[in-house]
Amino acid sequence: MLELFPEGFEEAERADGVELAAYTDAGGEERLWHVFGGAHSTAVDDGWEDRWRDFHRPVRVGPVWIGPPWHQPPPEALAVVIDPGRAFGTGGHATTRLCLELLLDLERGSLLDVGCGSGVLAIAGARLGFGPVTALDSDPAAVEAARRNAEANGVALDVLHADALRDTLPCAETAVANVTLQAVQGVAPRLDVRRLVASGYLEGERPLIAGYEEVERRRAEGWAADLLERATE
């Protein structure tokens, strides 16, 4: 589906399985038939091009509200407005919320967001009082989105285009890496930080990293996030 419709498609749970739907024309329907051996077409109502907005709803984690620009944040909240683009990270995923829960309880200081995606965690960190905040990603689209979202939220981020597994990483008091288990285990030994908030993996997985001690683990919806600190000798 990604190869056929790189601009996007819908995924919906049905009683008999998962339905994948793309908004396309007769040519797109024919390509579906060739690849999957069958497809069903239905005419759609006007306004279909805005239906994707229904999937992006605000979330609240403590004082922090994260939502798209077409929703109004509560006046008392620390608002993080994220415009969904090609970069991963709108605040709705459980791993993002778990990372933010752990960040809420930490001593404020410098923060490094590794694999920042849209910049949601870096921006939330800045809104919570962390600073200076550096965000980096190997995807140019993510770097562009993080810079754009930081400017829209009026926060100062140093957003870098870098490969966390190869390039030199900035030092910080705290790092957050909401990526994958393999990426966490690869990047953690390269970090010059006191503590690491790690996520992006399932509850049944656990990062094993020499030189770090697990301090706290949070779980939600089958996902997990861990607070790790440098081991003291």
Which residues make beta-bridge pairs with 217? 226
Query: Per residue in 73-93, pLDDT tens?
Result: 999 999 999 886 544 666 778
The per-residue pLDDT for range 26-65, each reduced to its tens digit, is 788 888 888 888 777 877 766 655 555 665 778 999 999 9
Select 88-230's CATH number: 3.30.365.10, 3.40.50.150, 1.10.3720.10, 3.40.920.10.
3.40.50.150
* Complete edge-to-edge strand list for the sheet that includes strand 158-161: 158-161, 133-137, 111-114, 174-178, 195-202, 223-230, 212-220
Q: Which two tokens stand for residue 114?
A: 């590794």
- Measure the CA–CA gap between 53 and 112, rounded to whole angstroms: 30
Burial degree of 50 (CB within 10 A; 0-12, 13-18, 19+): exposed
Per-residue pLDDT averaged across 182-202, rounded? 96
Quote the pTM value.
Answer: 0.78
**Domain layout of the chain by residue ranges:** 10-52, 88-230
